[in-house]
Amino acid sequence: MNHTLAWRLVSGVKINHLCTPRIAIPSKAVTGSQQVREFSTSYKRSTVMPAWVIDKYGSNEVLRLNNNTEFPIIHYPNEVIVKINATSLNPIDVNMRNGYGSASLNMSRDPLNVKTTGCEFPLVLGRDLSGVVMECGLNVRYFKPGDQVWGAVPPWKQGTLAEFVVASGNEISMKPKSLSHTEAASLPYVTLTAWAALVNSCRLNKQKCPGKRILIIGASGGVGTAAIQLLKAWGGHVTAVCSEDAFSLIKDIGADEVIDYKAEKLEEQLKSKQPFDVILDNVGGTTEKLALQFLKPWSGATYVTLVTPFLYNNDRLGIADGMMRTGVTLSSKVVKHLCKGVHYRWGFFSPSGQSLDEIGLLVENGQIRPVIDEIFPFSEVPKAFSKVEKGHARGKTVIRVTESSK
Ligand SMILES: NC(=O)c1ccc[n+]([C@@H]2O[C@H](COP(=O)([O-])OP(=O)(O)OC[C@H]3O[C@@H](n4cnc5c(N)ncnc54)[C@H](OP(=O)(O)O)[C@@H]3O)[C@@H](O)[C@H]2O)c1
């Protein structure tokens, strides 16, 4: 069986001539007289690529570089295949490696629950991408092969710690020309998360931000550094909570005031500040309890946290009971705080090429710049995971997938 031919017939996608995916050795050589067109309904493919995969959940040892990972297929007409030059890691990658969120993510991958347990493996982690479009589905109008793009794919899809990935045309955007691929890969996931929290949950934007006082807790990591720059680009007043050794970085990207959460009790330090219109909490836990009292009551002020029990509840209790518990927790908190005159929200990453188009303009204007903590080559992905797992990020950990990441 000529698997490549079968793949083309089944997927309706031709292999792009620009890319040169490695071809697995066929089981049988086909001689001239044997050349017959065979049709297969199997999804088995014979083109392969290198990718870091996991075959089970666990600690860093489960990460495996597989040079024979199946080449991704375009399934829907709005999808594109991107050759990845660079990607970056986020805490979600470490958490997913450990199995966090698997109940909910498997439901998104297989809503009818018809596949066997473990069908998500081999799983490719990594959400961010910066690279080049290789192939476009029939309905893709906005991109063409050869376009340099950046984006972030949602966690239920195969990830970007690979040479190629399939993304929806709605999840990517033209990469800002002023950034190298390595720089561009540091921004999409964290900037889109900050965007979702600030724009969707707190209704902030260019028009509404000037004059607003915003507190960011956990300011020195990926989301914090993105959020500070977004808010400063829109004219907000930003107070950032971080460790003292991050002060110069945080001031350099525009924060108006900085608070060292390790110096003395955060609560005491916040008491000396004027109340806030918006609080973005990237830390959660005890900070949630103490932060809410520092919002201006009865003025539409909003607290949004990125640390929520949504996926954890589903992992622990199953989807039905987990959703019920999540609904009860969220609604009781919303009502409790509404009675005190403030809004309580949960923020979630949301893939959006359209938001990235706008973020790209801010990058081109010099209002948002990449904050990169460390860059690792593709061969050292497990080291990069160890680094992210230790915490204490100062911006992003980036992976160079191909050497030409400029
Ligand atoms: N809901 C969603 O869709 C979503 C999306 C993205 C991220 N998240 C979550 O949001 C959180 C932040 O993400 P991230 O990418 O920014 O993580 P990150 O890059 O690891 O950054 C976390 C930062 O918080 C600092 N920090 C730790 N404890 C702190 C405290 N008590 N007060 C102030 N700063 C503290 C850390 O530095 P030091 O420890 O050195 O101070 C580090 O710089 C993570 O928990 C992540 O899982 C959720």
As a whole number, the mean pLDDT across the chain is 90
Task: Specify the pLDDT at position 234.
Answer: 98
**Ligand 1, atom 36: nearest CA belongs to which residue?**
392
196 Cα nearest atom in ligand 1? 3
Alpha carbon 38 to its chain's center: 40
DSSP per-residue letters across 196-229: IIIIIIT---TTT-TT-EEEEESTTSHHHHHHHH
Q: How confident is the model at residue 405 (pLDDT cuts 50, 70, 90)?
A: low
Supply the pLDDT for residue 135: 95
* Chain segment 240-275, per-residue pLDDT in tens: 999 999 999 999 999 999 999 999 899 999 999 999
Amino acid 170: pLDDT = 97
Tell me the best of 242, 248, 288 to mutate to test the pocket of ligand 1, counting ligand atoms within 8 Å of each CB and taking the most.
242
Q: How confident is the model at residue 32 (pLDDT cuts 50, 70, 90)?
A: very low
Distances (CA, A) of 134 to 18, 51, 81, 87, 187: 7, 17, 6, 17, 22
Q: Return the axis-axis angle of helices 102-109 and 310-317, rounded to nearest 10°.
A: 90
Residue 46 pLDDT > 90:
no
Q: How far is the CA of 3 from the centre of ligand 1 (A)?
A: 45
Q: Which residues line ligand 1 (CB under 6 A)?
A: 90-92, 190, 193, 217-218, 220-224, 241-243, 261, 282-283, 306-308, 347-349, 391-393
- pLDDT at site 38: 41
Taking residues 9-14, what's their average pLDDT? 35
The residue-averaged pLDDT of 330-355 equals 97
Task: Tell me the per-residue pLDDT of 355-380, one tens digit each, with 9 for 90 and over.
Answer: 999 999 999 999 999 999 999 999 99
Percent of the chain exceeding pLDDT 70 equals 88
Distance 103 CA to ligand 1 centre (A): 23
Q: Record the pTM.
A: 0.90
Residue minimizing CA distance to atom 32 of ligand 1: 218
Q: Give the C-alpha separation, 293 to 54, whole Å.
A: 43
Encode pLDDT of 51-90 as tens digits.
999 999 999 999 999 999 999 999 999 999 999 999 999 9
The structural domains of the chain, ordered by start, are 3-187+372-400 (3.90.180.10), 190-346 (3.40.50.720)
- Ligand 1, residues 108, 191, 220, 304: which to mutate, most atoms within 8 A of Cβ? 220
Q: Atom 15 in ligand 1: which residue has the minimum CA distance?
A: 222
Pocket test for ligand 1, best of 88, 92, 98, 223 (most atoms within 8 A of CB): 223
